[in-house]
Structure 1
Amino acid sequence: MSAFDPDARPGSTVLPALACPVCGGELAPDALPRPSSLRCPLGHSADLARQGYASLLRGRHATSGDTAAMVQARADLLGSGHYRVIQDAVAAAVPGDARLVVDLGCGTGAYLAAVLDAHPAADGLGLDLSAPAARRAARAHPRAAIATADLWQPLPLADASADALLTVFAPRNAPEMRRVLRPGGVAVVVTPRERHLHEIRERFGMLGIDAGKAERLDEQLAGFALGERIELDTAVLMSVDELRAEVLMGPSAHHVDPEALDARLAAMEGTTAVTVAVTVSRFVRAE
């Protein structure tokens, strides 16, 4: 059954939270038990892909988000367990009474799945611009519903419908985050620190990290109260294949020459110690 079928998980908080990306109206499946689309009272339709995700994009888009190769690289790297410390910290930052957790820029769905594993009473909704990411995330967890959506446009969610938001290495649309988060709800934000991957960034031509990232985050989310902030700093040993996945799973993939990268990696053997250094911030929406 579809993750957007109310009979698939009675009491799920996902479907009531969704809003038509065109008019903001309520969405409901067109037919049960195998709906092919979600429709609002005005007749706007959002297709349900056979791979299990909904298309909540509005109009055409100049970019399509992460490519299939980038998504595969991210899945490979996250599957190594090197970022498990981040997944655990994100899950711990979500309140125990959260019923609906929305991951903005969910990627493969790995972080949302970790949260849902730690919070058995919660439902999850993952939003991402990339169709390859949505296809992968749709298989991430049985309580996670996934949709393609543009995070820079009005989010396809009702006002004050989410108990917790996740943005892990993802864009942040602060006004929309505030609109869809309930009063007292939390936004868990993960950002890289200057030391993150410093051993390989320059070596492989990866994008740099701005030293003022934390200050800009606080300014961006000035409408929220900072609840707590923790800094994670650990070293992991990455194989040559894992190094390649690390470089090609994010924005640096658009700036790195794959042939030049492979030539550098071919000269390497064994494992390389790499620093994982991020900040996990928990922001609270005022009552």
Structure 2
Amino acid sequence: MKWKISGWILVVLLILVSCKSNKELSTQSTSTAKPIINNSTTSQSNESTQSSSSTEQNPYGLKAPNNVYTYLIVTNTKGNEYLKNNGYSAVLKTDTKNPNQSFILENSTLLPNINDAYGTQSYMYFWCSSEVKSVLANVQLDDAIIFFEANEDYLNQLENTPTSSTSIQEDLDIEAINNGDIASLVGTWQNGTGDTLVINADGTTNKNQTIHTIKDSDKTSKIPYASLSTGEMGGSTPIGFFKIGFENPDGDNSDTTKPRLILAQQGGAYPAENYYYRQ
């Protein structure tokens, strides 16, 4: 009888030990599975974040010109002046020698208000390095930030900004200019490299040169023109005039929907960034 009882006790103990062992194995299995699920979730989250970041930095499908200048920045004419006054310069896409003092202009016409019409605010877009982006983020003029990263949200704001009723382009009056009336030239003009030409009503400019008009220039030259002169021998530069719709006979890389100027000693198919547009 005692042997039977002892046998039953032994069976019960074995069952209890077996249950406990199974429970521990189950617990270990569950514990081991959690990090795998978490890692998978984290990986998916990181991929989503990277994708979102990439979209924000490259709106409108634009791609960075290289792996150094990777941030697209937007600013106004004040920002452009700041860059020039502080030693920053525009460089070619292949030039990565001095990324801390240079930038690459972005002239895509997909961007909102890139060269806005006469009388309204205009915006300048450029690619820069992370170091330059960090510096410009802290620049303020008149207690206002003037450099912004051109992400999708910010560009949407620019697109939805109401335009002024004065946004109709004032065209160049070639006949009047040929006869000495330069009223249609007066204003601020800027080319794709950031260079600015300011023409005053008296014909003087910010380049210490004065405009001298030429009678019938549109009949004696393929491109109507005048002369920018310092008054000294050999100190003149031809300035070509392009009315809205007029194309360079030697090949046109400009926006023909706007009036344009060109400063050049000879004719040819000028690079797009050499054309000046009214600001």
Question: For this structure pair, what is the TM-score category when the shorter chain's length is used for normalisation?
Answer: under 0.3
Which is greater in Rg? 2
TM-score under structure 1 length normalisation: 0.23
Higher relative contact order (CA 8 A, sep 6+): 1
**TM-score, structure 2 normalization:** 0.24
Query: By percentage of residues, which structure has more helix?
Result: 2
